[in-house]
Structure 1
Amino acid sequence: MQPSYEEKKEKFSIIRKKPHHVPPHLHNAIELVYVTKGELELGVGCELYHMEQGDFAVVFPDLIHHYQVFSHGKNEVYLFYASLELSGPFMTLLQKKCPENPVISRGKLHEEVKNALGCLIKDKKVNEVVGQAYLQIILYRCRENFRFIEKDRVGSNDLIYTVMTYLLSHFQETLTLGSVAENLGVNKFALSKIFSGVFHTNFNQYLNEIRLNYASSLLENTDRRITDIYLEAGFESQRTFNRVFRQRYGRTPGEYRKSFWEQENTDIMKT
């Protein structure tokens, strides 16, 4: 079955649900999975991981995953979706690597992670600043439990997944549709159809989204010069960077950074 692609619009969201069979899919968000009742089977790539009450998993962005439920008892799971932009210093790790095993058993879950999850569940709906704070605590503590591997080592022969992992590993380089097709050994017209048919965009727009996610995180979490940021993100000129940045965010990179820090300071003062 060909996996479906989902684009998560909200920067941070929480869903409580009774789990059921969910076919293979992937999306551009970090997905946190917390089983609060019963059991759940989490599939990532070609592997299937059993989860029980109290177990926790982190599904990194752009990984094909699915869910299965075989238990007939009471099952409940909380799903937390967070934009890559909220990951701060973990951005590069999330884009290029993933856990060899994404599941942390209840007994090995750090108390700070349990507390963060409890607060999120209690609040139910949190703003982006609070969500970002909890997310980074969770990622920091969970990192100690994971052995990381390159995303292209996750078992899947699916061309969609191969394309995505290649771009996530090479987006800082000069890329064209033709060069990517050649390196992957596929026809560039077939590759073009993947972007239009699956992602509902074209190659350049999809590549720019990856680069913009990376650049916006650097704007939010560092004081590095904008010139350094756009070059590190893979943009060849500041003019192109400014144009696509304004198209997505409705403001220049400098205005974006200023607005972000002003809003964060305001939210901190309110807490």
Structure 2
Amino acid sequence: MINNFSVKLLKNIKISRQKESNIKLIYWLKGTGQITLNLDKFKMKTRDLMFIMLNDLYSIESKEDSVVVVMEIAFKDYLRFADDYIKLHGYIFSSIERKQMEPFIINLLEFECRKPRILHIKDKLVKHLCVELGYIQRKHRQNSKLENALVDEVHEYIIEHHNQKINRQDLANSLNMSNKELSQVIKYHTPYNNITQYINDVRLKLCLIDILKSKTLIQDIAFEHGFNHFPRFIALFNEKYGATPGQVRKNKQPLNLNNLKTKEMPFDEEAQLTHCRGKKSLSLITIIITSI
């Protein structure tokens, strides 16, 4: 059985910055708006699709009368079906990828409109959605040359030891490889040029999460995640995110999950009409059922 899967139609959505605890797909059904994902801003319009990963920091704000589909999948269910590789962070789908995903999204929307709802059918629909996500992400991995199993072991080691001084030789020894072989894995099978760049990127992302979600002194956060030289941490953070840690914390919005203008729409006639208007140009999708 699929647990903790939900589909919501939200009108005038406004979600202040929060940390994702599962997997989300954000499908823009009508209107325009903006999603901020880990400090990157994306202008959203009808039919745009965003993938939000576990531990991503995001906020959503739509223009008036916009309608957004929010699908949430339990992380453990996603792992069951998305095969052996998952992306570390969320992203916006290309137009080709979005066209691959749309039939699965529409099928789930149609299922929500039907009564009675047969649970084993929903399970199959969610499974197919997760499998397709895994397929798309495997293609990302192949296109980025991330096809070496050693990459996963390197990443696990860095995450586990990121708050310590990581010795390149110790890392190489743990993987039964030479320093030269380790350098080649990093250079040719990851987005990084060297191990130091990789370690700093992991540390910076973990620092960013703590800066946004806590009131702990920034210097203490930096030290906790392995930065022993505070000015160096500030310089690296500013270079990566275009602002100092203090500026990022000062400018973050307070957590607000229940904005008064956000309205959840029922899967009724109005929702179906909105859905149909939003997909008039989609030849791959049949008209949603007309009565429930």
Q: TM-score, normalised by structure 2?
A: 0.44
Larger Rg: 2
Higher RCO (C-alpha 8 Å, min separation 6): 2
| Greater share of strand | 1
Q: What is the TM-score normalised by the length of structure 1?
A: 0.47
